[in-house]
């Protein structure tokens, strides 16, 4: 079938040289043991050097090709073979179909060669083999993705998506723990790369744990990759968050009767939720990619959480941390788009914010961690007044600062946060009004001092 596809593609090109404009194949895609590599080399050369040349109306004119490539063509039967190729194709309508067959056959050949070399040569580095396979995956994507699409085709899909959104509730993506954020964004959307960033101990992991619970309860499958703590500690956070149990009590085992009741109910709830935790040591972005690829084949509604970005390694080698983080950030963005899923990653924030009077993180605080701010679709900073000021009026309140929101805008949202249990709760309208009044009284009290 591969040989027939090669004949069909080359014959089509010889019939219509304008097809080169949509041809993504190179001579390397053709079977090196067959006669067609040299033909593709000739056509590629002619397209580059003869197109538009004065006196030449068709760069693939048989007579012109014979004059320029007669000697090279002699090894495959001469110019008569080229004529036979052209005349063997009744129609060029299936050109794209045969291109994909050729590309797929090349990928299979290259994969086989890679594995054979790895088996026969014990000195081959495993990382080099993985790099080669990644390149083959990119090659395959080039063949599958048609690149340019007519806007009418895009709008048809967009129309269907809008209709589907209208038939659902306000949350068109993956539900989060914050009702205000869901109202603002429609939830975490497919193909979005979302960053949750803050200084240590503010509540980053607690937020994505609460978001994971909300997502799973809404019917989504959660993949939770933990580079910071073992799976049992992550599970403990889930238990405390659902049951509103003091994590210190769980760590020490000193639970009250009510705590045990909440613990049992939390276990029962978690047992029925599609949440998968991976705490593999030395986790790499390439490993996460392979796991996500496998999960995406099994689960239709998937969301990925990563705790946290700066701890993720790579099988590639980099000169410095910034270059590594840049690469990993781009890979997570690529992952979101490739698998059409939301990818949420925690990021650390530089110390500079603590030197300012207003200690809320800014976009510039992320620049110490590479180009995350450019890759992310949405960036959410977390901030707590009571972390820095024990007598703060907003005690127990955490701010979700949407500093970047492609398609959704920016803003500051507030939630209640129980630091002991790691639980996030939404503020009611009454809660918000009371909070405003409390802040006003606190400010007046400080003015009188």
CA 45 – CA 18 distance, rounded (Å): 14
More confident residue, 386 or 367: 386
What is the residue-averaged pLDDT of the chain?
83
What's the pLDDT score for residue 154? Answer: 56
CA angle 68, 70, 71 (to 5 degrees): 110
- pLDDT higher than 90, residue 443: no
- 308/385 Cα distance (integer angstroms): 23
| Angle between the N-to-C axes of helices 36-49 and 62-73, in degrees from 0 to 180, rounded to the nearest 10 | 130
What is the per-residue DSSP string for 207-276?
HHHHHHHHHHHTT-EEEEEESSS-HHHHHHHHHHHHHT--HHHHHHT---HHHHHHHHHHHHHHHTS-EE
Q: Alpha carbon 343 to chain centroid distance? A: 6
Domains, the chain, with CATH or none: 3-141 (1.10.860.10), 170-448 (3.40.50.300)
Q: From residue 74, how far is each of 26, 29, 239, 412, 413 by CA, in Å? A: 21, 22, 75, 73, 74
How much is the average pLDDT of 389-416? Answer: 89
Give me the DSSP letters along 181-218.
HHHHHSSBPTT-EEEEEESTTSSHHHHHHHHHHHHHHT
The DSSP result for 37-55, as a single string, is: HHHHHHHHHHHHHTTT-TT
Q: Which residue has the higher pLDDT, 140 or 234?
A: 234
pLDDT at 124 over 90: no
Kindly report, residue by residue over 240-295, the tens digit of the pLDDT: 888 888 888 888 888 888 889 888 888 888 888 999 999 888 889 988 998 998 89
Once rounded to an integer, what is the mean pLDDT over residues 304-323?
Answer: 88
* CA–CA dist 155, 152 (Å, integer): 5
CB 398 within 8 A of CB 202: yes
- For residue 349, pLDDT over 90 is answered with no
Residue 24 has pLDDT above 80, yes or no: yes
For the ranges 80-94, 137-151, 232-246, 392-406, the lowest mean pLDDT is seen at 137-151
What pLDDT is attached to residue 106?
Answer: 86
CA angle 197, 203, 206 (to 5 degrees): 110
Q: What is residue 195's predicted lDDT score, i.e. its pLDDT?
A: 95
Checking if the pLDDT of 433 tops 80, the result is: no
Cβ–Cβ < 8 Å for 47, 67 = no
pLDDT band at 122 (very low <50, low <70, confident <90, very high): low
Q: Which residues contact 109 (CB under 8 A, 6 or more apart)?
A: 31
> How does pLDDT run across 214-240, given as a tens digit for each residue?
999 999 999 999 988 888 888 888 888
CA 275 to chain centre: 19
Indicate whether this model's pTM tops 0.75.
no
Integer angstrom CA distances of residue 180 from 3, 309, 415, 433: 59, 26, 9, 15
Residue 315 has pLDDT above 90, yes or no: no
* Tens of pLDDT, residues 59-89: 888 888 888 888 888 888 888 898 998 998 8
Q: How far apart are CA 44 and CA 103, in angstroms?
A: 17
Q: Please name every residue paired with 193 in a beta bridge, in sequence order, or none if there are none.
A: 343
- Give the pLDDT confidence score for residue 10 in this predicted structure: 92
Count of residues in the chain? 449
């Amino acid at each position: 079938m591969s040989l027939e596809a090669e004949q069909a593609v080359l014959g089509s090109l010889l019939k219509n040289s304008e097809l080169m404009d949509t041809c993504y194949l190179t001579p390397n895609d053709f079977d090196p043991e067959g006669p067609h590599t040299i033909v593709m080399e000739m056509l590629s050369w002619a397209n580059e050097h003869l197109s538009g040349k004065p006196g030449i109306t068709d760069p693939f004119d048989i007579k012109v090709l014979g004059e320029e490539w007669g000697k090279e063509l002699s090894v495959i039967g001469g110019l008569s073979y080229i004529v036979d190729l052209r005349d063997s194709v009744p129609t060029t309508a299936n050109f794209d179909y045969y291109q994909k067959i050729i590309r797929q056959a090349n990928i299979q050949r290259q994969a086989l060669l890679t594995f054979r070399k790895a088996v026969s040569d014990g000195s081959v580095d495993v990382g080099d083999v993985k790099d080669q396979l990644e390149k083959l995956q990119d090659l395959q994507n080039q063949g599958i993705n048609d690149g340019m699409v007519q806007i009418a085709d895009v709008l048809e899909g967009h129309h269907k998506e809008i209709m589907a959104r209208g038939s659902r509730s306000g949350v068109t993506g993956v539900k989060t723990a914050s009702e205000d954020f869901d109202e603002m964004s429609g939830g975490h959307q497919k193909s979005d790369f979302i960053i949750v960033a803050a200084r240590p101990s503010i509540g980053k992991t607690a937020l994505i744990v609460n978001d994971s619970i909300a997502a799973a309860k809404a019917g989504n499958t959660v993949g939770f990759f933990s580079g910071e703590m073992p799976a049992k500690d992550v599970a403990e956070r889930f238990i405390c968050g659902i049951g509103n149990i003091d994590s210190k009590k769980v760590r020490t085992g000193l639970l009250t009767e009510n705590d045990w009741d909440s613990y049992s109910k939390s276990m029962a709830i978690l047992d029925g939720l599609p949440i998968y935790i991976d705490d593999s040591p030395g986790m790499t972005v390439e490993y996460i990619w392979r796991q996500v690829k496998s999960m995406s084949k099994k689960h239709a509604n998937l969301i990925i959480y990563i705790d946290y970005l700066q701890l993720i390694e790579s099988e590639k080698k980099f000169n410095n941390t910034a270059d590594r983080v840049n690469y990993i950030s781009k890979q997570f963005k690529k992952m979101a788009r490739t698998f059409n899923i939301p990818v949420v990653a925690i990021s650390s924030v530089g110390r500079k914010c603590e030197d300012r009077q207003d200690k809320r993180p800014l976009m510039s605080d992320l620049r110490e961690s590479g180009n995350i701010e450019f890759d992310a679709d949405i960036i959410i900073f977390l901030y707590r007044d009571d972390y820095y000021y024990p007598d703060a009026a907003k005690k127990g309140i955490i701010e979700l600062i949407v500093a970047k929101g492609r398609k959704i805008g920016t803003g500051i949202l507030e939630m209640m946060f129980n630091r002991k249990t790691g639980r996030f709760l939404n503020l009611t309208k009454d809660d918000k009004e009371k909070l405003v009044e409390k802040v006003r009284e606190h400010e007046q009290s400080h003015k009188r001092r």
